[in-house]
Amino acid sequence: MSEQSIEIVPAQETTLVVLSPSTPPPADQNPALLYLVTLRPTGRRSQAQALNVIAGLLSSGRETAISFPWHTLRYQHTTAVRAQLAEKYKAATANKMLAALRSVLKEAWRLGQLTAEEYHRAIDVKTVRGQSLPKGRSVKPDELTQLLDACERDSSPTGRRDAAMLAVLYAGGLRRSELVNLKLADYNREAGSLQILDGKGGKDRMCYVSGGATAALAEWLEVRGLEAGPLFLPINQGLNPLLELTV
């Protein structure tokens, strides 16, 4: 496999590597191909696309994942790639692309195209840190009051259910997923407690409701009944709770 000439050129605020056109190695010596064939079809497509992007960054668009000479990359090149990915993509996407790059370089090392030292230096780049704001927004106290007032004006079972749901969400600090997974058996009316299964960590926790939340739940249970099943039920067009569809 012939070595490629490498030129470092400035590109905006980061440095890219530009390589001259290359001849793809045989399939059994191609680290990108060997990596991609280990993946499932869906993963293969996404990671091939990621490698195409990286190869394009390193060659001004002249190379693809299959034709790029991955064995020529060193630490300074992968660092430049990380900087470009961090600028162009969200952290999760950039890190997924870096994972593909590391995997290809590992195959190049396994093929004897990189020494152990060259390989470990090349992959020694930090993950991209990022912070995404959670979906939705906090509800202001006056907005919550308006929502509860709207439920109070609705004397139907839907109004009672929605008032109880809002009260429990606010009083217990529950996630939406935790709310919809509540069962009637999770609510201890005497203690005013709700047993909640944390869907993220699989751990149970207890929260307590009182005052208005307790009253809202009591009014809802008068409509719902005390049959086993989800604590909060959908309402049909006849304004009746649909227990049989949700148990």
Cα gap 11→86, rounded to integer Å: 14
Question: How many angstroms from the chain centroid is the CA of residue 196?
Answer: 23
Q: Per residue in 5-50, pLDDT tens?
A: 444 344 344 445 555 555 777 889 999 999 999 998 888 999 999 9
Predicted local confidence at residue 16, as pLDDT: 57
Q: Per residue in 166-215, pLDDT tens?
A: 888 888 888 888 888 899 999 998 888 888 876 555 567 888 888 888 99
Cα gap 141→144, rounded to integer Å: 5
Cα gap 84→14, rounded to integer Å: 7
- Cβ neighbors of 112 (< 8 A, separation 6 or more) are none
Residue 245 Cα distances to 95, 126, 182, 231, angstroms? 42, 50, 15, 13
Mean pLDDT of 124-133: 81
- Give the confidence band of 242 by pLDDT, cuts at 50, 70, 90: low
Cα gap 43→99, rounded to integer Å: 12
